[in-house]
């Protein structure tokens, strides 16, 4: 078993964290705005999508660094 972690593992952990965010957003939206949660959820997904794009760019950059 490899007991060391690299920035690649960190990136994976960050992406997993974003996944958790996606999973919790619907609950948060319904708790805060009830029936009118759609607009809030749309906005939150927009932000999370932006962060996911940053993740994708980071993955590509990491691949280049290791090449």
Among residues 39, 53, 56, 60, the one that binds another protein under rule CB under 8 A: 39
Any idea of the CA torsion for 8, 11, 12, 18, to the nearest 10 degrees? Answer: 180
Site for another protein contains 13 (CB under 8 A):
yes
Structure tokens at 55: 């993740």
Rounded Cα distance between 28 and 34, Å, is 9
State which of residues 36, 38, 47, 56 lies at the interface with another protein (CB under 8 A).
47
CA atoms within 13 A on the CB side of 65: 9
Which member of 38, 54, 56, 60 binds another protein (CB under 8 A)? 54
Binding positions for another protein, rule: CB under 8 A = 2-8, 10-18, 20-21, 24-25, 27-28, 31-33, 39-40, 43-44, 47-48, 51, 54-55, 58, 62, 65-66
């Amino acid at each position: 078993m490899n007991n060391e972690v690299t920035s690649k593992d960190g990136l994976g952990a960050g992406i997993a964290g974003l996944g958790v965010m996606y999973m919790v957003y619907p609950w948060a939206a319904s708790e805060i705005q009830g029936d009118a949660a759609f607009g809030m959820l749309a906005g939150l997904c927009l932000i999370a999508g932006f962060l996911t794009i940053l993740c994708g760019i980071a993955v590509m950059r990491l691949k280049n660094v290791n090449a």
